[in-house]
Amino acid sequence: MVEHGARGCMLLRAYSEYAGANEAIAALVQQQKREFREEIGRRVEVCIGSADTELTNQVWLLFEGATAAASVFDGDPIRSARRAALDLVAVAKERLK
């Protein structure tokens, strides 16, 4: 039986392997990470009603960290990161009242 599991972020693995050898791959990884952070920023803005760069970065870092942790640890770091992101959003909404 073959078992498949989380092995972290494919893009970060590609970046670490090819960054010095292939600038095109490194640039694509950087572009994807930048675009993903921008998408989180759009969702943060919809959720709290205004742009918030700090909150965007915090949520993005939670996602990136949870993805990395899921490849190494048992448990559910994704669920914990989701809960932390929801808590951060709640604080931001309260601050804007």
pLDDT tens digits for range 56-74: 999 999 999 998 888 788 7
Q: Name the residue among 96, 88, 94, 90 with its Cα closest to residue 54.
A: 88
Does residue 71 lie within any of the structural domains?
yes
Count of domains forming the chain: 1
User: Which structural domain, as residue segments, surrounds residue 33?
Assistant: 10-96
Residue 54: closest CA among 89, 17, 25: 89
Q: Is residue 2 part of a domain?
A: no
Residue 87 pLDDT exceeds 90: yes
**Residue-wise pLDDT tens digits, 12-24:** 777 778 778 888 8
Instruction: State percent of the chain over pLDDT 70.
Output: 92
- Among candidate residues 91, 97, 9, 12, the one with its CA nearest the CA of residue 54: 91
In a domain, 36, yes or no: yes
Assess whether pLDDT exceeds 80 at residue 5. no
Which tens digits make up the pLDDT trace of 28-65? 888 999 999 999 999 999 999 999 999 999 999 999 99
